[in-house]
Amino acid sequence: MINAICVVSAAAIRKEPSHRSEMTSQLLFGEIVQVLDEKEEWRKIKCHYDGYEGWLTFHLIEEVNDEVVINSNRYVTTGLLNPATLPDSLVNLPMGSSLTGFDEETRLLWDDKHKYHGTYRNTTNPTYNEDLFWNTIQPWMNAPYLWGGRTFMGVDCSGFVQTVYKVLGIPLLRDAYQQATQGVPVEDLMVAQSGDVAFFENENGKITHVGIILQGEQIIHASGKVRIDVLTDKGIFNKESNTQTHKLHSIRRMVRI
């Protein structure tokens, strides 16, 4: 089994081994993958963090040993953009990147070549408090929607929720319907709390959207862009268009508050 690590800010994961194939997700810097298959310059990978599979080119990853894998998701970046350096170059890391092998004293990463200079959290013990939560979500406002995206340069609804919760130290799966299997159910909106995750369904009852509940019957979600809208027991109400845009399916609590 070959393990590898992402060595760029964000690597596109594609459905098929082709640059023309749709991007289904992104691998963030420092995240570990298992290499499942090879096809010319392409590698089929399985993400260590969430089990997601897809294809990317070999230029974006480097092989690592098992010891590096063990030390992968303990520390994560917390700023929207975070500097790391090599001896002769700079890499800017998005929020939620894994500081694999991070040494808090030297600030060196797994290869002793990358040195981290930004803000970070030790996520060994999952944490939720309103200040941490708000400081994590607020910088994302107005980030553009991008199918498969996980960074502030472009993010989809489940990628946004997953990355926010990664900073909190709570691993979530990649897609909305998968995330809806995690945590514990919340009976209804009346007893929901800030930080709970709300899921929304299409006309066929399939979960297709997700967002994070805020205080005051509001929700932050990626729809066109990362935005805050009104949440009712029926779904999301957009004041700008004066319409209900998403039908509420269920609410889950991912962390004990």
User: Catalytic site residue 47?
Assistant: no
User: Catalytic site residue 157?
Assistant: yes
Q: Annotated catalytic residue: which of 47, 48, 157, 249?
A: 157
Residue 57's nearest CA partner among 72, 39, 69 is 39
The position carrying tokens 């991070």 is 102
Chain centroid to Cα 198, Å, comes to 16
Alpha-helical segments (H) within 1-121: 66-70
Burial 62-80 (b: 16+ CB within 10 A, else e): eebeeebbebbbbbbbbbb
Q: In what side-by-side order are the strands of the sheet with 10-14? A: 23-28, 10-14, 53-57, 42-47, 32-39, 2-6, 61-64
Q: Annotated catalytic residue: which of 6, 48, 114, 209?
A: 209
User: Catalytic site residue 209?
Assistant: yes
Q: In what side-by-side order are the strands of the sheet with 89-94? A: 89-94, 81-86, 115-116
The position carrying tokens 């002793």 is 112
Looking at residue 203, its amino acid is E
Q: Annotated catalytic residue: which of 6, 47, 48, 221?
A: 221
DSSP string, 218-249: EEEEEESEEEEEEE-SSEEEETTTTEEEEEEE
Q: Which residues are catalytic?
A: 157, 209, 221
